[in-house]
Structure 1
Amino acid sequence: MKIPKRIQPLVDDGLVDEVTSQLMSGKEADVYVVRCGEEIRCAKVYKEVTQRSFKKAVAYREGRKVRNSRRARAMEKGSGFGRDQQEKVWQSAEVDALFKLAAAGVRVPIPYGCYDGVLLMELVTDDEGYVAPRLNDVMMPEDQALEDHAVMMTYVVKMLCAGLIHGDLSEFNVLVDEYGPVIIDLPQAVDAAANNNAEWMLTRDINNIRDYYSQFAPQLKETEYAKEIWAIFEKGDLKPDTELTGKFVEQDIDADLAAIMQEIDDARRAEQFRRERIKEAKEGVDESKFNWAED
């Protein structure tokens, strides 16, 4: 196929030999299957901010640090240079998260580097060599659902121990190969310690995964992994190998009241976040022309 303009510099530099097909087109990026020597990889081409329907909601940006003071000041002022720097921070967030999570034992696509808004990474395939399906497209028996859900909870714990929360985790951001789930799409990953929205984002991530697997294993509907994991994390006792039960019991009436107030606050944050997404979508592009959009 014709080489996309944004990938041409990688071809010129010998990083990519051939673009074989377009894998998908979504809200924040287009993904292509490329050949790099004898290896088949994928190239994620981040869209310019003016072309994206999802433009880094404030809830995600909170807590992201920039060491260079000049860059930080420019980003705060919203100057042209600042917007450019903010875009670079947004794009580098995913590759940074991929390296960090791979080192922490979380299954993610292997990253090979980000070059001027193009992320080269592993193409996750099934046992026959075809592109691995998203979790949303996979049916499974009850025992497999329970096993894979348990794996996903260990990944969430390892991510949290590495200081990160996915922030947009669902059945649409997980691939399934012959070895199990692989977590993808991490440009919006948030700092668990610095982001005030961390708890409700973690809760939403965990509950999204729970709700999907509970279609095949209904007993998962009654689990409370989000509350259990966050409570252990807040105490400073969470470790990558922490054993989970999926159960959580409030200690007393005061704790119940605190939980209720927390749920109200989480609902407020979620509504604010929803309004931001709707506003950004209205300012974005018409997604009807895409093959399919990331959810």
Structure 2
Amino acid sequence: MKTPPRLQPLVEEGLIDTVVRQLMSGKEAMVYVVRCGEDTLCAKIYKEATHRSFRQAVDYTENRRVKNSRSARAMAKGSKFGRQEQEAAWQSAEVDALYRLAAAGVRVPTPYNFCDGVLLMELVTDADGDAAPRLNDVVFSPEDAMRHHATLIKEVVRMLCAGVVHGDLSEFNILLASDGPVVIDLPQAVDAAGNNHAQRMLLRDVNNLKNFFGQFAPALLKTRYGEEIWSLYHSGVLSVESVLTGRFERSKKSVDLGSVLREVDDARAEEAARQVRMGVRQ
């Protein structure tokens, strides 16, 4: 096929040899199958912000760190340069998350290169060597649904132990490879310790898995893995070896409202100090 303009620089640089076909077009990117020597990879081309249906919601970008102080100030002010830097940070977030999670042993595609808004990574395949389907395109037996759900719950735990919450996990961004599910689409991933919405996002991710696989294995609909996982994480005892039951009962102990308010005040003071350091007018 004709090489898309965004991939032409990578061809000229020798990073890819040929473009085989378009694999998919999503809310935030277009993905192509490409050849690199003897290897077949996929190239993910991020759409510009004006052409994305998935916006950079503040819930996702909260507390994302930018190393360059000039870029951070520009992003806070919303200048043209700042918007460009924000876009670059949004795109690189998936690359950072992929490397971080791959190093932690999470089942994600292996990233190889990131150049000019194009991410080169492993092409996840099925048993026949074809591009792996998304979960939403597959019908499962109750036994397979239970097995794949258990695998993905372990991956959610492994991600959280690496300090990451996917933030948009569902049957639409999990591929069924020949050896089991693979998690994809991570530009909206958030830092579990640094994002105030991390708990809500993790519970939503886990509920999405429950509701999807629960169509095939109704017993899953009664489970509460999300609350159990977050409780163990919040208590500092979650590990990849944690044995989960899917059961959870909320503590009936009274809440120390004073401590909660002190934590809120401390967080506000810390944020105010950070804004001052960034040179942002309060």
TM-score, length-scaled by structure 2: 0.89
Structure 2 match to 1:109: 109
Structure 1 match to 2:44: 44
Read off the aligned partner of 1:230 and give its amino acid letter: W
User: Is 2:142 aligned against 1:139?
Assistant: no
User: Is 2:170 aligned against 1:164?
Assistant: no
Kindly report which structure 2 residues correspond to 1:1-295, keeping only aligned pairs within 5 A, or say none.
Answer: 1-252=1-252, 254=254
Task: Provide the C-alpha distance between the structure 1 equivalents of 2:49 and 2:39, rounded to a whole number of angstroms.
Answer: 31
Task: Provide the C-alpha distance between the structure 1 equivalents of 2:210 and 2:156, rounded to a whole number of angstroms.
Answer: 12
Which structure is higher in RCO with an 8 Å CA cutoff and minimum separation 6? Answer: 1
Task: Provide the C-alpha distance between the structure 2 equivalents of 1:136 and 1:114, rounded to a whole number of angstroms.
Answer: 28
Structure 1 match to 2:269: none
Task: Provide the C-alpha distance between the structure 2 equivalents of 1:177 and 1:144, rounded to a whole number of angstroms.
Answer: 13
* Counterpart secondary structure, 1:187: coil
Task: Provide the C-alpha distance between the structure 2 equivalents of 1:197 and 1:50, rounded to a whole number of angstroms.
Answer: 25
Displacement of 1:216: 1.2
Deviation string, structure 1 residues 42-92 (Cα, Å, up to 9, x no partner)? 000001111112121111111101121111001101111111111111111
Task: Provide the C-alpha distance between the structure 2 equivalents of 1:54 and 1:211, rounded to a whole number of angstroms.
Answer: 22
Deviation string, structure 1 residues 177-214 (Cα, Å, up to 9, x no partner)? 11110000000000111111111100000000011111
* Counterpart secondary structure, 2:27: coil
Task: Provide the C-alpha distance between the structure 2 equivalents of 1:32 and 1:232, rounded to a whole number of angstroms.
Answer: 40
Read off the aligned partner of 2:195 and give its amino acid letter: N
Structure with higher Rg: it is 2
Deviation string, structure 1 residues 250-275 (Cα, Å, up to 9, x no partner)? 232647xx9xxxxxxxxxxxxxxxxx
Task: Provide the C-alpha distance between the structure 1 equivalents of 2:32 and 2:246, rounded to a whole number of angstroms.
Answer: 39
* Counterpart secondary structure, 1:6: helix
Read off the aligned partner of 1:6 and give its amino acid letter: R
Query: Matched residues, percent identical?
Result: 61
Read off the aligned partner of 2:96 and give its amino acid letter: D
Moved more, 199-208 or 62-71: 62-71
4+ residue runs of structure 1 moved beyond 6 angstroms? none
Read off the aligned partner of 1:67 and give its amino acid letter: K
* Counterpart secondary structure, 1:7: helix
Deviation string, structure 1 residues 79-131 (Cα, Å, up to 9, x no partner)? 11111111111111101111111111111111001101000001111111111
Alignment size in residue pairs: 256
Q: Which runs of 5+ in 1 are unaligned?
A: 259-295
TM-score, length-scaled by structure 1: 0.85
Task: Provide the C-alpha distance between the structure 2 equivalents of 1:27 and 1:137, rounded to a whole number of angstroms.
Answer: 18
Task: Provide the C-alpha distance between the structure 1 equivalents of 2:19 and 2:28, rounded to a whole number of angstroms.
Answer: 20
Structure 2 match to 1:280: none
Read off the aligned partner of 1:171 and give its amino acid letter: E
Structure 1 match to 2:262: none
